[in-house]
């Protein structure tokens, strides 16, 4: 009988210790979710300082280059100036693009900034390019 009660006490102590250990491993509060923030807004000439960040870049379109499938918008300064900012629009993302992305229009584009041939660039689709100032209406498509 004494052996049975010792086993019972020993088992009870083991259960108590196991519960205490497992409770210590559980967080006392649920982890908070990481807050989502809107990308920071910058001007086209600040883009080089934000490589690797998700940003909204605003600036004037000064040149457009349509390659038949893909297109490039030069913002701030035109090609071949290395101080320009470019918006690359691949062929598979051109559907729904604003048709009035001409020289003189001010646009905002949101996306991840990267360097392409040492020029800051965002690869974009229609959902991430907004014409915010109509400017002039003359097209400036270059080969």
Residue-wise pLDDT for 59-116, tens only, equals: 999 999 988 889 999 999 999 999 999 999 999 998 888 777 788 899 999 999 999 9
CATH number of domain containing 57:
2.40.50.140
Q: Rounded to whole angstroms, how far apart are CA atoms 59 and 46? A: 10
Find the mean pLDDT for residues 125-132: 90
Which of 31-35, 64-68, 91-95, 134-138 is the least confident region?
31-35
Measured over the CA atoms of residue 19, residue 22, residue 28 and residue 31, the dihedral's sign is negative
Whether residue 113 lies inside any domain: the answer is yes
Please give the pLDDT value at position 143.
Answer: 32
| Overall domain count for the chain | 1
> Shortest CA distance to 108 belongs to which of 74, 64, 61, 58?
58
The residue range of the domain holding 58 is: 40-142
Measured over the CA atoms of residue 23, residue 24, residue 28 and residue 32, the dihedral's sign is negative
Whether residue 20 lies inside any domain: the answer is no
Whether residue 88 lies inside any domain: the answer is yes
Whether residue 21 lies inside any domain: the answer is no
H or E element: which one contains 61?
Answer: strand 54-66
């Amino acid at each position: 009988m004494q052996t049975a009660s010792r086993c019972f006490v020993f088992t009870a102590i083991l259960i108590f210790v196991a519960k205490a250990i497992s409770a210590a491993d559980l967080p006392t509060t649920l982890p908070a979710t990481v807050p989502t923030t809107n990308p920071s807004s910058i001007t086209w000439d600040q883009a080089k300082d934000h490589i690797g960040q998700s940003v909204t870049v605003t600036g004037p379109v000064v040149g457009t280059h349509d390659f038949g499938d893909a297109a490039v918008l030069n913002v701030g300064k035109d090609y071949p100036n290395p101080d320009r900012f470019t918006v690359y629009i691949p062929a598979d993302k051109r559907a729904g693009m604003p048709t009035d992305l001409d020289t003189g229009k001010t646009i905002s584009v949101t996306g991840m900034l990267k360097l392409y041939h040492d020029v800051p660039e965002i690869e974009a689709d229609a959902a991430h390019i907004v014409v915010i100032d109509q400017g002039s209406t003359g097209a400036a498509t270059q080969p």
